Amino acid sequence: MVENKLLTGEEVVTEKAGRWRVIRDAATELFAERGFARVSVQEIADSAQTHKTTVLYHFETKEALYSA
C-alpha cells in the first residue's frame, strides 16, 4: 500500500536544504580529488544520488556550485 504524505512548508524547506548540502558536499569531494575541470555536473549528480537537473536547479552552473 502506498502512503500519501503531504509535506508542510517547513519540511519542504528542510528537504531542499538537505538536498542542497548533499550536492554541495559531493561536489566538494570530487573537486578536491580531481580538480574543477575534471568533474562533470553528471558525475556530481551521480555521487549525490540525484539527477543532473536537480543539481542545476539548486546551482545554475558548475561554477556556482564550486563557489558555494
Residue 61 lies in a domain: yes
| Residue that is written with C-alpha cell 580538480 in the block | 35
**pLDDT per residue as tens, the chain (68 positions):** 455 555 566 665 577 778 999 999 999 999 999 999 999 999 999 999 999 999 999 999 999 999 99
Residue 2 lies in a domain: no
The domain in which residue 29 lies consists of: 11-67
Residue 4 lies in a domain: no
Length of the chain: 68
Write the CATH number for 41.
Answer: 1.10.10.60
Rounded CA gap, 28 and 15, in Å? 20
Give the H/E segment covering residue 18: helix 9-34
Residue 3 lies in a domain: no
Rounded CA gap, 14 and 24, in Å? 15
In this structure, are residues 29 and 23 in contact, taking their beta carbons and an 8 Å threshold?
no
- Kindly report the pTM of this predicted structure: 0.79
